[in-house]
Structure 1
Amino acid sequence: MILSLLLSVILLFLISNESFSSTIKTEGIKHDPAAKIITITVPDKKLSIIIGYSKGCVIEKLVLNGNLLIFNIRGPQQIFRPAQAQVKMVLIR
């Protein structure tokens, strides 16, 4: 529940940010196929999310206002299900 709410807020923020949506194809998303990592960042660098997909879909890092949050989110059998996912969050200052 909390995880799906957090992801919804992040996606809503990205969609509603006009400068992000106008640069989404060139600046906001970086894909590293060799490392199997996707990084999504808003232009003002206040929000960044790093998603790894080498062993299922995993939110590896979330940077919000300069604070690094580490999630490591996985669901059963590598499928994310909000009600069953194990979530660890650490704020590093």
Structure 2
Amino acid sequence: MSINSNLPSFHTFDPIVNDPLDIIPAILTSLGGDHKELKKASPHSIDIQNLKEGSEPIFAPATILYLSIGELDSEGRRADSIDSSSGKE
């Protein structure tokens, strides 16, 4: 079995600012429409800040986790991946 070299790698080295285990309770609460804790934990995530109180999120729980732990600047832009400048070997 050969590996297709055109397939992208299935990893990411995105810098994170929140511990995934610490954010899970806020995600579980958010699934019921209470987004206050999640918004407080992720102040720069535009997607998280746009969640409407009382409404279930439009994102899957795994997507919410990804959106809420990544390092973002004050304008909501994602920081460069640690591996963004390295070539594939």
Q: Could you tell me the TM-score, scaled by structure 2's length?
A: 0.26
Higher relative contact order (CA 8 A, sep 6+): 2
Larger radius of gyration: 2
Q: Which structure dedicates a bigger proportion of its chain to strand?
A: 1
